[in-house]
Structure 1
Amino acid sequence: MVDVLSAAGKKAGSVELDEAVFGLEPNVSVMAQVVTAQLAARRAGTQSTKTRSETRGGGAKPWAQKGTGRARAGSSRSPIWRGGGVALGPKPRKYVQKTPKKMVRLALRSALSDRAADGKVLVVDAWGWDAPSTKAARQALEALGATGRVLVVLSRDDAVAARSFRNLPEVHVISVGELNAYDVLVNDVVVFTQATLPTSAPAASTEEEGK
């Protein structure tokens, strides 16, 4: 049971957190695997080095095979030469790791349960702003006692609130459909509205699944 607060920090009721989402024993290994896969999927994988066959020049044999007293050489673009190709260098590749949906959901529930156990899950009845206001957003977080890095979970209808929070560097705004384990773990406090509070197993985001 947690208190439902108003944007002014006053108690406006209470709500029971779903034990299936906020009452689990966090599975650290699953969270680590899912977060690693999620971060790997963000990598561009565009790094590339030239092999000796792709390096310009080096078509002529530098010197005769015999009689010079020097080591045999067939090309000045060998990896051991300055300006030569790179041996075993990186090439474009995909870093995507396929993660089962059950693991993605378990990782998210574990992350939410970890924050709930520390009392870092806050619930607001509604933001209720008619116009975007960064000042009002900052005052609301202070009234709620949300310090450090804050994850604010909003619905698609909370456009005014999203515009109010987006200029605060310590706040990360996310749609409820994009909620994932990494964003929960990387932030100190998670703030839901009653409309976005998960009451059953949340759906996994596309980005988190690495697809």
Structure 2
Amino acid sequence: MATATKLEVVDAKGKKAGSVDLPEAIFGVEANVPLIHQVVTAQLAAARQGTHKAKGRGERSGSGAKPFKQKGTGRARQGSVRMPQHRGGGIVHGPVPRDYSQRTPKKMIAAALLGLLSDRARANRLHVVESFGLGDKPSTKTAREYLGSVAPGKRVLVVVDREDQVSILSLRNLQGVHVLFQDQLNAYDVVVSDDLVFTKAAFDAFVAGRAAKEDTK
């Protein structure tokens, strides 16, 4: 399915308020599923704290002396109550603090994101709105009703400009809605969302940012 070169911009009343260009370099990229999987897996791994810790035999409290003599009791020989087979003893090969992050080149991260954005555009799951019609006062109810008419999916990712504090306050408590700034857009949040909604200001800033990165190569 070919990607459209333009996308309608919807105003606060749900009517067409113009259009935006969809650059081929951003929204016409072939999605590489194995690459996307690798990047998303690396992103989830990097989010792990890695602070899990189990105490070994040498870290448990308790006497280091033998609990009973070596011979003559008829029981198996034991060296310490801190051994793993005893209650309260150390853990064998237990987890220790570690860094789960994986090295992922920036070009791979960018390629995965652009592939997902292109896939959303081809599936008509990419939307651009002029605004949420909120004015100067936040309104979660207004934002919910408007967003429901624009993006029918259960999980919606909304990308806004950093200056749009009214939209952020109105959207942040909606169930199934995740809000990001345009410079925070990432593969994981796109892949777990059914619909992707940009405000026009955020869309323009994102496209301009990508174009600037291409020019520096």
TM-score (norm 1): 0.90
Shift of 1:26: 0.3
| Equivalence for 1:93 | 98
Tell me the alpha carbon deviations over residues 1-50 of structure 1, each in whole angstroms, 9 at most, x when there is no partner. Answer: 21111122111112221111111110111111111111111111111111
TM-score (norm 2): 0.88
CA RMSD of aligned residues (A): 1.6
5+ long unaligned stretches in structure 2:
1-5, 212-217
| Equivalence for 2:214 | none
5+ long unaligned stretches in structure 1:
204-211
- Residue 111 of structure 1 aligns with an amino acid whose one-letter code is L
Structure 2 SS opposite 1:168:
coil
Within 5 Å, which residues of 2 pair with 1:1-211?
1-128=6-133, 129-197=135-203, 198-199=206-207, 202=210
| Equivalence for 2:215 | none
Contact persistence 2:127–2:151 (CA under 8 A): no
- Residue range with higher mean Cα deviation, 114-123 or 75-84: 75-84
Contact persistence 1:21–1:201 (CA under 8 A): no
- Residue 181 of structure 2 aligns with an amino acid whose one-letter code is S
Structure 2 SS opposite 1:196:
helix
| Equivalence for 1:207 | none
Task: Calculate percent identity across the aligned residue pairs.
Answer: 54
Contact persistence 1:47–1:91 (CA under 8 A): yes
Report which structure shows greater RCO (CA 8 Å, sep ≥6). Answer: 1
More helix by share: 2
- Residue 182 of structure 2 aligns with an amino acid whose one-letter code is V
Tell me the alpha carbon deviations over residues 59-113 of structure 1, each in whole angstroms, 9 at most, x when there is no partner. Answer: 2111112222222211111112222110000011111111100011011101111
- Residue 190 of structure 2 aligns with an amino acid whose one-letter code is V
Tell me the alpha carbon deviations over residues 140-185 of structure 1, each in whole angstroms, 9 at most, x when there is no partner. Answer: 1133243311111001111001111112112111011110010111
Q: 1:130 to 1:118 in 2, by over 3 A?
A: same
Shift of 1:193: 1.8
- Residue 48 of structure 1 aligns with an amino acid whose one-letter code is K
Shift of 1:202: 3.9
Distance in structure 2 (CA, Å) of the matches to 1:37 and 1:181:
11
Shift of 1:200: 5.8
Distance in structure 1 (CA, Å) of the matches to 2:50 and 2:100:
7
Contact persistence 2:157–2:195 (CA under 8 A): yes
Contact persistence 1:132–1:163 (CA under 8 A): yes
